[in-house]
């Protein structure tokens, strides 16, 4: 059996090593904590909020573009001189929307299956274009670039069966 004085002698030999190991561990821990506190990014003041409602999302985008949301005045003839400046293909089961710019610079938000005052109805939203229909004809408006000053490419199909419902 090991006597108590023998244990104390062995402990006396290892005690400085254990003390230095503990001191170095605390110093390393402190240095690591200070390092990560100094290199950490600033805390986020507010997390972004996401909305699943396409109408309010379209309204927010129109507001950010600097235009108030208003409906165009009724016209007697169909105009296709709108510019497609933005679109969202959908929010899960909810419909998508398109952002159109009128020739006078007014920005409009149009939900899928909504009709403009001039009779054009948004029937289909694709990743690069939308399809508007009025009086049995379909007009496709392609997305314009942000720096584009030219009018968008519009193609027309006079067949009423050209509208797909997929």
State whether 112 and 63 are in the same domain.
Answer: yes
Which pLDDT score, from 0 to 100, does residue 145 have? Answer: 63
* Cα-Cα-Cα-Cα dihedral sign, residues 65, 71, 73, 77: positive
Do residues 119 and 87 share a domain? yes
Instruction: Name the 3-class secondary structure at 142.
Output: strand
Q: Is residue 49 part of a domain?
A: no
**Domain check: are 24 and 91 in the same one?**
no
Residue 48 lies in a domain: no
Strand order in the sheet with 154-157: 121-125, 129-134, 137-142, 154-157
- Asked whether the whole model's pTM tops 0.75, one would answer no
Do 152 and 77 belong to one domain? yes
Residues 137 and 84 in one domain: yes
CB atoms under 10 Å from CB of 61, counted, come to 17
Range of the domain at 24: 1-43
Task: Specify the pLDDT at position 124.
Answer: 87
Question: What is the pLDDT tens value at each position of the chain, 166 positions in all?
Answer: 678 888 888 888 888 899 999 999 999 999 999 999 999 988 777 666 777 777 777 777 777 776 554 444 443 344 467 888 888 877 777 778 888 888 888 888 888 888 887 788 888 888 888 888 888 788 888 887 654 444 444 444 444 444 444 4
- ∠ CA 65-92-58, nearest 5°, is 15
Same domain, 8 and 87: no
156 phi/psi in degrees, rounded to 5: -125, 145
Total domains in the fold of the chain: 2
Q: What's the CATH number where 73 sits?
A: 2.30.30.830
- Same domain for 124 and 77, yes or no, is yes
């Amino acid at each position: 059996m090991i006597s108590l004085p023998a244990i104390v002698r062995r402990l006396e030999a290892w005690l400085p090593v254990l003390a230095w190991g503990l001191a170095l561990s605390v110093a390393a821990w402190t240095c690591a904590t200070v390092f990560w506190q100094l290199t950490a990014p600033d805390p986020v003041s507010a997390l972004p909020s996401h909305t699943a409602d396409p109408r309010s999302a379209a309204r927010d985008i129109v507001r950010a573009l600097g235009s108030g949301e208003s409906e165009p005045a009724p016209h007697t003839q169909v105009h296709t001189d709108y510019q497609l400046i933005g679109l969202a293909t959908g929010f899960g089961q909810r419909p998508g929307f398109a952002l159109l710019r009128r020739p006078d610079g007014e920005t409009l938000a149009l939900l899928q299956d909504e009709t403009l005052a001039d009779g054009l109805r948004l029937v289909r939203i694709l990743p690069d274009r939308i399809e508007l229909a009025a009086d049995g004809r379909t007009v496709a408006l392609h997305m314009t670039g942000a720096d584009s000053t030219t009018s968008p490419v519009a193609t027309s199909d006079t067949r009423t069966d050209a509208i797909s419902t997929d």
